[in-house]
């Protein structure tokens, strides 16, 4: 793979690129002198945490900057043309026809008012590369190459009529419409489930190879970039950390930062086992034969049952739409189950949260996926954390202040510094810690963690997982951990419950669950998690066959 780096023609040459961002009436440098080379047909992976400047550099490769950013220095040479000094109109004609961009969220990037194929043919027709009818035929061919179902017909649907994975592939097809020399992929699979991710990855890799297109692949997921890229460049806060071809980078990273990124998935807490059946300990939470449906809709939960014991973590795993979060809503009482009961320490809970006592509400707390929407932006940190303590334990004055400081210490944030800040002044990881502190302030015995790490960078996510683990052992908490990320399950869970289409498919202790034989669906989920091995996707495709991945494999 890396061999053609030397003899192929150079397509993109970025030298000493600096980009500035505008904030508070000054320009702050956010990318500090990046060099980048890309040859025809080569795929370069850009990885790093959020704020590393990945997307900014990716867009700069098209001669584009977001609002409030400007290229302040350096050169960008695309196929012999200097982009930084080109007039805007020429850059515009370059984009779409010779350089294309695939965005993170296809659902948000497609215009919902137009059919897929009409959006597809827009660029080729606009640039007089193809006639509308030729372009439509070409679109269908591309859809077929990307293994979309019904390639002749799918283009005539509207974006909301196809699934997320299909939409992301349709977007890749659209990027290919003018046969560009370079495609920038900006986290194209981050918003997708593992099983869907595979089909998109396989499709992208295939089509890039077939048309010998050069690509910049931006992601924060190392295992994904290992499958896609010929070379990997690691970025940190707008600086390059190191660059090497994929195999070398995975085998022997030079820099400490890269090594720490590589080691992220190594955290694993010791597994707790359920107390003996003979001791007959009553589980903290017992979900018993719960059915549920949203108002007048179809049933979304079918006979869901599982137990959560004191001091243990139960991971609920499944794709989106499998009923994980609905189960959590039944436990918290936001969605009263249509039949079945939820027991708390053996005691039956009233179905709706409105009928529960203060103490019942206090015992079960929740940590949310999006810390941004889970914390009121207009309330100070001390009040966010202090309110549950005040509400449930009746603390006030200096006792309340001491308690809040204690909680801030517990989540490893300096009380003096964070006590009177507002949530928007914190980073994503810090916000999530505040969310944890708010749950702890109620002194619960059971916490529901709803995808708490999926919006965070891997290093930050690991910190959160370690914190949750430490809190569990000191406070003897029971966790219900909702996630679709099996790496997280592997590191933190004691027991695993696998859900599919509102039913529990399989459940058991982690060690048992991660060893064969599995239920077919568990197997599919497990084998779909990308591994840090560059040949993993190739092997998987050989095992399953190209037509039997993703959605096709589910049935």
Q: Which of 211, 353, 419, 514 binds another protein (CB under 8 A)?
A: 353
SS3 sequence of 347-385:
EECCCCHHHCCHHHHHHEEEECCCHHHHCCCCCCHHHHH
> What tokens appear for 421 in the block?
């800040």
Task: Indicate the helix (H) or strand (E) that contains 448.
Answer: strand 446-450
Closest separation in Å from C-beta 321 to another protein: 19
Tokens 């510094």 belong to 417
- For another protein (CB under 8 A), the number of binding residues is 25
CA distance 220 to 169: 20
| Mask for 431-450, x = binds another protein (CB under 8 A) | -------x---x--------
Q: Which stretch binds another protein (CB under 8 A): 326-334, 341-349, 517-525, 547-555?
A: 326-334
Cis peptide before 517 (omega within 30 of 0): yes
CA distance 463 to 372: 18
Q: Which of 374, 382, 437, 477 binds another protein (CB under 8 A)?
A: 374
Instruction: Tell whether residue 366 is a contact of another protein (CB under 8 A).
Output: yes
Toward another protein, which CB reaches closer, 127 or 391? 391
- β-bridge mates for residue 14, sequence order: 36, 76
Beta pairing, strands 347-348 & 299-308: unpaired
Instruction: Tell whether residue 296 is a contact of another protein (CB under 8 A).
Output: no
Q: Are 35 and 240 in contact (CB under 8 A)?
A: yes
Task: Indicate the helix (H) or strand (E) that contains 403.
Answer: helix 397-410
Instruction: Tell whether residue 379 is a contact of another protein (CB under 8 A).
Output: yes
Toward another protein, which CB reaches closer, 334 or 399? 334
Q: Which stretch binds another protein (CB under 8 A): 117-125, 303-311, 363-371, 478-486?
A: 363-371
Toward another protein, which CB reaches closer, 169 or 356? 356
Q: Which of 76, 361, 389, 498 binds another protein (CB under 8 A)?
A: 361
Q: Which of 105, 163, 293, 332 binds another protein (CB under 8 A)?
A: 332
Q: Which stretch binds another protein (CB under 8 A): 209-217, 330-338, 482-490, 505-513?
A: 330-338
Toward another protein, which CB reaches closer, 278 or 295? 295
Toward another protein, which CB reaches closer, 370 or 467? 370
Length in residues, the chain:
555
Q: Which stretch binds another protein (CB under 8 A): 166-174, 176-184, 377-385, 453-461?
A: 377-385
> Which residues within the stretch 381-420 sit at the binding site for another protein (CB under 8 A)?
387-388, 391-392
Which regions of 196-284 does DSSP assign to beta strands (E)? Answer: 214-219, 231-236, 239-245
Closest separation in Å from C-beta 464 to another protein: 17
DSSP summary character for residue 508: E
Instruction: Tell whether residue 342 is a contact of another protein (CB under 8 A).
Output: no
Closest separation in Å from C-beta 413 to another protein: 19
Instruction: Tell whether residue 378 is a contact of another protein (CB under 8 A).
Output: yes
Which residues, at least 6 apart from 420, have a Cβ–Cβ distance to it below 8 Å? 380, 381, 382
Instruction: Tell whether residue 370 is a contact of another protein (CB under 8 A).
Output: yes
Q: Are 437 and 387 in contact (CB under 8 A)?
A: no
Q: Which stretch binds another protein (CB under 8 A): 37-45, 86-94, 124-132, 372-380?
A: 372-380
Closest separation in Å from C-beta 524 to another protein: 31
Toward another protein, which CB reaches closer, 247 or 370? 370
Residue among 170, 176, 145 nearest 155 (CA): 170
Closest separation in Å from C-beta 331 to another protein: 11
Closest separation in Å from C-beta 333 to another protein: 8
String of DSSP letters for 464-515:
HHHHHHHHHHHHT-EEEEEES-HHHHHHH-SEEEEEETTEEEEEEEHHHHTS
Toward another protein, which CB reaches closer, 332 or 345? 332
Which residues, at least 6 apart from 192, have a Cβ–Cβ distance to it below 8 Å? 164, 165, 168, 200
Closest separation in Å from C-beta 249 to another protein: 38
CA distance 171 to 517: 37
Q: Kindly report the backbone phi and psi dihedral angles of residue 63, in degrees, each rounded to the nearest multiple of 5, phi listed first.
A: 75, 25
Closest separation in Å from C-beta 530 to another protein: 29
Radius of gyration of the chain (CA): 25
Q: Which of 110, 143, 257, 368 binds another protein (CB under 8 A)?
A: 368
> Which residues within the stretch 229-288 sit at the binding site for another protein (CB under 8 A)?
none
SS3 sequence of 306-348:
EEECCCCEEEEECCCCCCHHHHHHHHHCCCCCCEEEEEECCEE
CA distance 385 to 389: 7
DSSP summary character for residue 95: B
Tokens 């807490």 belong to 269
Which residues, at least 6 apart from 400, have a Cβ–Cβ distance to it below 8 Å? 386, 389, 390
Instruction: Tell whether residue 208 is a contact of another protein (CB under 8 A).
Output: no
Q: Which of 6, 373, 398, 417 binds another protein (CB under 8 A)?
A: 373
Instruction: Tell whether residue 358 is a contact of another protein (CB under 8 A).
Output: yes
> What tokens appear for 68 in the block?
């409030």
Instruction: Tell whether residue 375 is a contact of another protein (CB under 8 A).
Output: yes
Toward another protein, which CB reaches closer, 166 or 363? 363
Closest separation in Å from C-beta 53 to another protein: 21
Q: Which residues bind another protein (CB under 8 A)?
A: 332-334, 353, 356, 358, 361, 366, 368, 370, 373-379, 387-388, 391-392, 422, 424, 438, 442
């Amino acid at each position: 793979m890396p061999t053609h780096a030397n003899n192929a023609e150079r397509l993109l040459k970025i030298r000493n690129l600096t980009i500035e961002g505008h904030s508070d009436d000054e320009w702050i440098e956010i990318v500090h002198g990046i060099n980048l080379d890309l040859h025809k047909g080569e795929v370069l992976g850009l990885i790093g945490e959020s704020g590393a400047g990945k997307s900014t550099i990716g867009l700069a490769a098209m001669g584009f900057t977001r609002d409030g950013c400007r290229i302040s220095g350096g050169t960008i040479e695309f196929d012999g043309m200097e982009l930084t000094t080109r007039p805007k109109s020429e850059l515009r004609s370059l984009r779409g026809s010779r350089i294309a961009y695939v965005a993170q969220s296809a659902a948000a990037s497609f215009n919902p008012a137009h059919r897929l194929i009409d959006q597809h043919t827009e660029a080729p027709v606009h640039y007089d590369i193809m006639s509308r009818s030729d372009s439509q035929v070409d679109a269908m061919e591309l859809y077929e190459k990307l293994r979309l179902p019904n390639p002749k017909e799918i283009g005539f649907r509207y974006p909301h009529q196809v699934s997320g994975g299909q939409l992301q592939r349709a977007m890749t097809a659209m990027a290919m419409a003018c046969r560009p020399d370079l495609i920038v992929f900006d986290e194209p699979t981050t918003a997708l489930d593992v099983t869907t991710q595979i089909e998109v990855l396989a499709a992208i890799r295939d089509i890039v190879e077939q048309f010998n297109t050069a690509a910049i692949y931006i992601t924060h997921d190392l295992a994904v970039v290992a499958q896609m890229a010929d070379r990997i460049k690691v970025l940190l806060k707008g600086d390059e950390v190191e660059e090497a071809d994929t195999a070398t980078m995975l085998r022997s990273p030079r820099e400490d930062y890269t090594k720490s990124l590589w080691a992220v998935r190594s955290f694993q807490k010791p597994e707790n086992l359920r107390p003996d059946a003979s001791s007959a300990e009553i589980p903290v939470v017992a979900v018993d034969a719960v059915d549920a449906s949203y108002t007048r809709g179809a049933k979304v939960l079918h006979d869901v049952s599982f137990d959560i014991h004191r001091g243990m973590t139960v991971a609920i795993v499944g794709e989106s739409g499998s009923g994980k979060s609905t189960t959590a809503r039944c436990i918290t009482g936001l969605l009263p189950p249509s039949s079945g009961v939820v027991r708390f320490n053996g005691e039956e809970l009233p179905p709706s949260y409105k009928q529960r006592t203060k103490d019942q509400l206090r015992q079960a707390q929740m940590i949310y996926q999006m810390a941004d929407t889970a914390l009121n932006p207009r309330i100070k940190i001390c009040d966010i954390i202090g309110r549950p303590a005040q509400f449930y334990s009746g603390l006030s004055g200096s006792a309340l202040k001491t308690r809040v400081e204690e909680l801030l210490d517990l989540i490893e944030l300096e009380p003096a510094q964070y006590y009177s800040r507002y949530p928007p002044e914190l980073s994503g990881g810090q916000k999530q810690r505040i969310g944890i502190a708010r749950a702890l302030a109620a002194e619960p015995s059971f916490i529901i963690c709803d995808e708490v790490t999926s919006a965070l960078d891997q290093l930050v996510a690991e910190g959160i997982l370690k914190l949750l683990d430490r809190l569990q052992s000191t406070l003897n908490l029971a966790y219900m951990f909702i996630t679709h990320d099996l790496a997280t399950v592997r590191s933190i869970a004691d027991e695993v419950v696998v859900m599919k289409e509102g039913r529990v498919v399989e459940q058991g202790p982690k060690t048992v669950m991660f060893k064969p034989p599995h239920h077919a669906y568990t197997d599919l989920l497990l084998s779909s998690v990308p591994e840090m091995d560059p040949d993993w996707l190739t092997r998987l495709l050989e095992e399953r066959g190209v037509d039997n991945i993703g959605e096709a494999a589910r049935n």
